[in-house]
Chain A
Amino acid sequence: MFYRVILFFLLFQFFSITNSKAQNSELDIGVRLQKSVNLYYENGFTAQYTNNRLYSKRLYFGISYVTSRLGSAIGSNAINQDNIFLSTTYFFRPDRKLQPFLRLNTGYFYSDLEEEIFDDLPNSSILLSPEAGIRLKTNSPLKVGASFGYNIITGDGRKGPGTLYPVFIQSSITWSILNNTDQNEK
């Protein structure tokens, strides 16, 4: 059921993006740099989409992938672990440069424990995390945001992956590659 929901979400976003009647749509693509408090750096990519019909561009839908393979695990013995998640973000003050936001992420976490002797240890989990932060819009397509997040589901030594920690901070630097107006307006 969970995967059907994700598939529906992806298809909805795809058709929203490709809908030629979408007014003033924006697609921001960039990097996401994330650090769990007292654990790993996990970095990767993010894409966020909105258009005028989504509460006058207050509401964004996005997808992100962050991994220790591009962070703490580079050239080290840190565990290779991956996070892929979908986001719904609400931005306040859409016409201002500095925009506080609230976000909800849901997705999947996986850590590669490599050896057979560790096969009995839990190494994957659903991800569910609210975030609160602030974004800076510039006069260019560049946008910079930062937030605190909290993973509601973590490991506890009996169930859940041991390296899925509760609190993280992240910053995203994105570039708007799609910023068009309605054909009718032209």
Chain B
Amino acid sequence: MKNKVKLLILLSIFVGCGTEPDINETMLDGEEIFDPSLYEPEKYLVSVALPNPTPQEALKPVIIASHGYTATTFEWDEFRDFAEIGDNVLISQILLGGHGRSYEDFKNSGWKDWQTAIKKEYEDLVSAGYKNIHFLGSSTSGALFLELLSGSYFKNQPAPLQVLLVDPIVIPSNKTLSLIHVFGPMLGYLESDQSAEEDKVYYHFRPEETLRELQNLLNIVRKDLEKGIVLPQGTSLKVYKSKKDPTADPVSAVLIYKGVKTNSGGNIDVEMIDSDLHVYTRLDLRTFTTEDKENQTATFNDILDRVTGNN
């Protein structure tokens, strides 16, 4: 009897390991739908659209808008549409490495690959002569920005002037992510509960390899915050955080507030938002309330005020 029980346990482990998800071609995970920035980079990246700015164009605020884990450039489309009305900022919507392509591309990517896209666009803009560059990141991009700020990346090159984080993640809301290194290989992947339309702009399946990479990144950033991150001279940072967030625990804002200081030793800005949405600035393909819309508009206006120097 004991041997039969052991065999059953081993069998269930092997059955669980190595299962492949059921991907169809209506999903971003498949081989037919890709992020549009891959086809038309000139519509998404300022470094491609305006590689040789005039001295006046080089002073215009450029916002590098970067999305979250499993997301695509879609996550900042509404902000781009909002910002273009005023026509006083330029927006580079980047696509993180491994994202917006296929399940296999995602599965084979690590957090450093995700971050490479941020660094590439930033370096291309600096090389082109842009002087007024800002970072705007949602969710995991917040962690990727913090990791850049904690190291020596900005020691020998100009730093962004504003770093704006919407629902950044340092502590996940779903605490089972902390066990991914133990149970991940047995699970293979997790599935998202999202609509068919969202399946076209967010990966449906989350390979356990990428969840382990995410947990690794969060551990690194958490420890960097515990040691303390000092912003480069001239850089300001603000966190906009939903008070109830099913993905990025709101306590992430506490860790960032305690862990990051301005170059002169001051505190960063934090605004806690009455929202229960993760990345509350993205309302498209979601059911939302009047208050959600007001939150989005207020944050978009605040972001634009900050990067244009009106705040």
Taking Cβ atoms with an 8 Å cutoff, the residues of A that contact B are 36-39, 72, 76-79, 111, 113-115, 117-118, 120-121, 154-158, 161-163, 165-167
Contact = CB atoms under 8 A, between A and B. Distances in A.
Contact of A156 (B175, B222, B257): B175
B251 interface: yes
Given A38-B219, A155-B175, A157-B245, 4 more contacts: A77-B227, A77-B258, A157-B173, A162-B249
B178 interface: yes
Nearest to A39: B178
B251 A156 contact: no
Given A37-B179, A120-B272, A157-B245, A79 B252 contact: no
A39 B175 CA distance: 11
B215 interface: yes
A162 B251 contact: yes
Contacts of A37: 178-179
B249 A155 contact: yes
A121 B175 contact: no
Q: Which 9 interchain pairs have the tightest Cβ spacing?
A: A157-B173, A162-B251, A162-B249, A38-B178, A76-B226, A77-B258, A158-B244, A77-B259, A157-B249
Nearest to A76: B226
Instruction: Among B179, B249, B255, find the residue whose CB has the most chain A CB atoms closer than 10 A.
Output: B249
Main secondary structure of the interface of B (DSSP, over half): helix
B192 to A, nearest CB: 16
Interface residues of B, number: 35
Contact of A114 (B179, B258, B259): B258
Nearest to A36: B178
Interface in B158-184: 171-176, 178-179
B254 interface: yes
B262 interface: no
Instruction: Among A72, A77, A114, find the residue whose CB has the most chain B CB atoms closer than 10 A.
Output: A77
B276 to A, nearest CB: 7
Contacts of B246: 156-158
Given A76-B226, A162-B171, A157 B178 contact: no
Given A38-B219, A72-B226, A118-B253, A166 B244 contact: no
Interface string B219-235: 10010011110000000
Nearest to A155: B249
A146 B136 CA distance: 45
Contact of A121 (B226, B227, B254): B254
A115 B253 CA distance: 11
Interface of B: 171-176, 178-179, 215, 218-219, 222, 225-228, 243-255, 257-259, 270, 272, 276
Contacts of A39: 178, 222
B255 A157 contact: no
B175 A165 contact: yes
A157 B244 contact: yes
A61 to B, nearest CB: 29
A17 to B, nearest CB: 37
Nearest to A112: B254
A113 B179 contact: no
B29 to A, nearest CB: 25
B277 to A, nearest CB: 11
A167 B251 contact: no
11 contacts: A39-B178, A118-B257, A118-B272, A155-B173, A156-B173, A157-B172, A157-B248, A158-B245, A162-B173, A163-B171, A167-B178
B258 A165 contact: no
Nearest to B272: A117
Contact of B258 (A38, A79, A121, A158): A79
Nearest to A121: B250
Contacts of B218: 38
A31 B292 CA distance: 49
Contacts of A36: 178
A61 B134 CA distance: 58
Contacts of A167: 178-179
Contacts of B250: 121, 157, 162
Contacts of B178: 36-39, 165-167
